[in-house]
Structure formats: C-alpha cells, structure tokens
Structure 1
Amino acid sequence: MAHTTHTDHFASFAEFYPFYLEEHRNPVSRRLHFVGSLGVIGFLAMALATGEWLWLPAALVCGYGCAWTGHYFFEKNRPATFRHPVYSLMGDWVMFRDICTGKISI
C-alpha cells in the first residue's frame, strides 16, 4: 500500500483515520484536542440547559481554537479540517473516545 499523503482522496473514514492519527502524534496537540472537545460538550450542555444559544459560538471557538493551536504550535502542520472537514470532525470525536477509553495516551 502506498504511503498516504494529505493530497490523497479517502474513500472511507476507515481509510482516513490512520492519516488523522499521523497528523496528531504530538501528545500536547492531542491534549489540546481533548480539552477542546470537553469544552464543546460543556458549551453545548450550557446551551441546552439554559436555552441561551449564544453558547454555541463559544463551543466552536473552544473546539477549533484548542485544536488549531495544537496543529500550529506543536504538530507544525495544517489541520485536516481544511482538506477533509467531515472526516476530520469525525476523527476528533473518535480520538476523544479513544483517549477516554485509554486506547490513545495523552
């Protein structure tokens, strides 16, 4: 199998996820992604609990802000969000689950 690069087309999420993990090797970046995902959950919960939908932009800023900080300052790469937005979002939550279950260390 040829080495996957960021310019490759991915036919499925199963093909994309190994590439996603390669783009998230730095433990600080993974921690920032994890914190961002926790923040998204918290802000969404606040929006639902209070009916104040202004928490939703805060969820986006928290999630993407933490993740992109990890990419720019620690991974030194361009977030996959720009090339593969749907698969990248899916990857964030699969990695979050994998961190919660101990499959991926931070």
Structure 2
Amino acid sequence: MAAFKSFRDFYPYYLTEHSDRNCRRMHFAGSTLVLLIVVAAVISGHLAWLWLVPVAGYGFAWVGHFAFEHNRPATFRHPLYSLLGDWVMYGDILRGKIRI
C-alpha cells in the first residue's frame, strides 16, 4: 500500500483511480445527492434523513468502481484522503477541470 505524505501527493493517484468517465459520473451523482439530502434534512428539520448520506455517497461511488472502473475504491486504503478527494474532484468537475 502506497504511503502519501500529503493530500497534494495523494490527489494525482486518486485521479488515476477514477479514469473511467462513467465512474466519475457515478461519483458526481452520489455527491450531488449527498448535498441534496443534507439540504433537505436541514430545511425540513428531518435530521434522521442524514443516515442516507453515506448510503448515497458511497453507494454511487462503489457502483462506479465495481461496474465501470473495475478497481477497489481508494476509501478502503485511504479513507480520509479519499473523502477529501471526492469533494475536490466534485469541485474540479463543476469548474470544468475534469470532464464527465
């Protein structure tokens, strides 16, 4: 297992683990759903809905990895950097730096 000294070192590796466009699309869909769930839970006051956050986020991402990327999600080896990578990649997609 590779050791990374910083997130800056990890992120290029993270992107190689997400080279399939459909995998990135699944990540983007899951992350968008996470945001929608959080907003809906806060606005409605139904905070119990927050249990859906990891189901939506990881569910979509893992389907992307197993069905399209055919690799093991980085979450299993680098959970914190991987979570941060999800959101940095999401922002990069929104800014057009990464295509989906």
> Which category describes the TM-score, using the shorter chain as reference length?
over 0.9
* TM norm structure 1: 0.92
Return the alpha-carbon distance in structure 2 between the equivalents of residues 28 and 61 of structure 1.
Answer: 19
Q: Which has the higher helix share?
A: 2
Please state how far the C-alpha of 1:93 moved relative to its aligned partner.
0.3
State yes or no: 1:104 paired with 2:98.
yes
Deviation at 1:70, TM superposition (A): 0.3
1:92 corresponding residue in structure 2: 86
Number of residue pairs matched by the alignment: 100
Describe the SS at the equivalent of 1:54.
helix
Q: 1:9-48 maps to which residues of 2 (within 5 A)?
A: 9-48=3-42
In the alignment, the residues of structure 2 paired with residue 24 and residue 48 of structure 1 have an alpha-carbon distance, to the nearest angstrom, of: 31
Q: CA deviation at 1:72?
A: 0.5
Which amino acid in the other structure matches residue 85 of structure 1? Answer: P
The residue matched to 2:72 in structure 1 has which SS? coil
Q: Which residue of 2 aligns with 1:66?
A: 60
For 2:66, the aligned partner's letter is Y
Task: Output the amino acid matched with 1:75.
Answer: E
Question: Which runs of 5 or more residues in structure 1 are unaligned?
Answer: 1-6
Q: CA–CA distance in 2 between the matches of 1:47 and 1:70?
A: 26
State the SS of the aligned residue for 2:10: helix
When the two chains are superposed, the root-mean-square deviation of aligned CA atoms in Å is 0.6
Please give the alpha-carbon distance, in whole angstroms, between the structure 2 residues aligned to 1:61 and 1:8. Answer: 27
